[in-house]
Amino acid sequence: MEQNVTIELVDAIGEAFNKNDADLVMTFFSDDCIFDNGTGPDIFGKRFQGKEIVRAVFKDLFDSVEFVNWKTRHVTIVEDKAYCEFHRTAQLKSGEQQEYLSLDILTFKDGLITHKDTYFKNRVQ
């Protein structure tokens, strides 16, 4: 199997997310991409499918925050997958601060993300 996933590619994706720019982020996704959010009614969370639908999810996120940032803690690449551990911080427009650890499993085909599967820690007070 040809290796098309590199640390440089994963870093570029992270930089796009940290610019909070949905259009730039989506340049890394395939037209038929799937995003499985960490929360939702199904065993896989909540699924969003198709480039325009996934773009809308990220645009809504970026529109709801003053900023959101993912600091990479560790990346492991195995064949067509990148396992990316992050420390996520955000400030919502309401002033609320968010902070948690997360993991994305990114599956690639031809250098584009076909599946973004997100997991994260949820603090309960």
Whole-number pLDDT of residue 60: 96
Whether the CB-CB separation of 40 and 57 falls below 8 Å is answered with no
Number of structural domains found in the chain: 1
Tokens of 106: 């990114």
Report if residue 46 sits inside a domain: yes
Report if residue 125 sits inside a domain: no
Report if residue 99 sits inside a domain: yes
Whole-number pLDDT of residue 125: 62
Instruction: Give 38-70 pLDDT, tens digit per residue.
Output: 989 999 999 999 999 999 999 999 999 999 999
Report if residue 97 sits inside a domain: yes
- Cα–Cα distance measured from residue 44 to residue 38, given in angstroms and rounded to the nearest whole number: 7
Q: Nearest Cα to 116, choosing from 71, 84, 91?
A: 84
pTM exceeds cut of 0.85? yes
CA-based R_g, the chain, Å: 14
Report if residue 18 sits inside a domain: yes
Report if residue 81 sits inside a domain: yes
Instruction: Calculate mean pLDDT across residues 12-37.
Output: 97
CATH number of domain containing 55? 3.10.450.50
Report if residue 1 sits inside a domain: no
Report if residue 2 sits inside a domain: no
List the domain range (segments joined by +) for residue 57. 7-120
